[in-house]
């Protein structure tokens, strides 16, 4: 089963477009180990999500113990729920090839996030894995996204006018998507751009961060981020769910928070 089918089945089975970020922060976590924390979160939410998304930085910052925790976490996720490695990799071809092998073959992710700044050859080693998903950073959710992503690009003119870089990225992703395994990362914090990108890429999966702690409008993101069937969008949340409680009831609190976000998403479909 490829990533797209696995994601679709999980979303329909759990009636959920919620992707839970597994981003352990020792300063916010209750007093428990990372592996134990992640396993408890997964146990309490696996019927409420369509995917999990560990951000590699939180594990890399912990050295060898963090890498072990990441491996154990990926293995612990039920086989019928896809795991997206939030790695944001993007480098020259031979390095990208090593990154793709590490993320897909060693760590076993079903999909990853990648940075397109170096161009197609930096993306090709990832999309060559036809059964895996590749989410290209397009319009990110952070405040400084516009520093480069809003820049006018003469190389991608439409109707004789330059287009912003994020639109050029979306069009290039469409062009490269020969294996139908490319998606885009588009932040809910930029609602007009989200709507534009969905119009440019009506059939592409969108990974949409920025709801919850970052303040993006969930209603707008659902209405303008999903496709014509109310699917092909993944709404990512981490802190508001993971750290709903810092007490011994953290797993139960995370479940309640995840279920509330899932219900809100479904109410806007």
Average pLDDT by consecutive 10-residue portion of the chain (269 residues)?
97 98 95 96 98 98 96 98 97 95 98 97 97 98 94 76 93 96 96 96 96 78 96 96 95 98 97
pLDDT value of residue 154: 79
pLDDT value of residue 93: 86
3-state secondary structure labels for all residues of 14-73: HCCCEEEECCCCCCCCCCCCHHHHHHHHHHHHCCCCCEEECEHHHHHCCHHHHHHHHHHH
Write out the residue range of the structural domain in which residue 207 sits: 3-268
| Closest-CA residue to 16 (of 224, 244, 252, 222) | 222
What pTM was estimated for this model as a whole? 0.96
Structural domain count of the chain? 1
Catalytic site residues?
88
| Closest-CA residue to 140 (of 110, 174, 161, 117) | 117
**Could you tell me if 32 and 26 are in contact, meaning their C-beta atoms sit under 8 angstroms apart?**
no
The domain that holds 226 is classified in CATH as 3.20.20.70
Torsion angle (degrees, nearest 10) of CA 60, 61, 67, 69: -130
pLDDT value of residue 211: 84
Distances in Å between the Cα of 256 and the Cα atoms of 115, 249, 250 are: 34, 11, 10
Tokens of 208: 């949409």
């Amino acid at each position: 089963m490829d990533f797209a089918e696995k994601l679709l089945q999980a979303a329909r089975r759990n009636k959920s477009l919620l992707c839970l970020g597994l981003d352990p922060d020792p300063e916010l976590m209750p007093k428990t180990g990372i592996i134990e924390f992640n396993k408890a979160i997964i146990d309490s939410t696996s019927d409420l999500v369509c995917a999990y998304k560990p951000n590699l930085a939180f594990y890399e910052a912990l050295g060898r113990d963090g890498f072990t925790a990441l491996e154990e976490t990926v293995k612990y996720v039920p086989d019928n729920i896809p795991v997206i490695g939030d790695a944001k990799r993007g480098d020259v071809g031979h390095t990208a090839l090593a990154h793709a092998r590490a993320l897909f073959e060693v760590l076993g992710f079903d999909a990853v996030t990648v940075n397109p700044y170096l161009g197609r050859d930096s993306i090709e080693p990832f999309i060559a894995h036809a059964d895996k998903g590749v989410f290209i950073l397009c319009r990110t959710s952070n405040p400084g996204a516009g520093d480069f992503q809003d820049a006018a690009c003469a190389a991608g003119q439409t109707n004789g006018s330059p287009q912003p870089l994020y639109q050029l990225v979306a069009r290039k992703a469409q062009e490269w998507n020969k294996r139908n395994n490319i998606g885009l990362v588009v932040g809910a914090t930029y609602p007009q751009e989200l709507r534009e990108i969905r119009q440019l890429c009506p059939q592409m999966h969108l990974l949409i961060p920025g709801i919850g702690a970052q303040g993006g409008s969930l209603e707008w993101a659902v209405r303008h981020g999903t496709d014509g069937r109310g699917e092909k969008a993944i709404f990512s949340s981490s802190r508001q769910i993971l750290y709903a409680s810092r007490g011994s009831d953290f797993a139960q609190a995370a479940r309640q928070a995840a279920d509330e976000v899932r219900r809100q998403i479904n109410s806007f479909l």
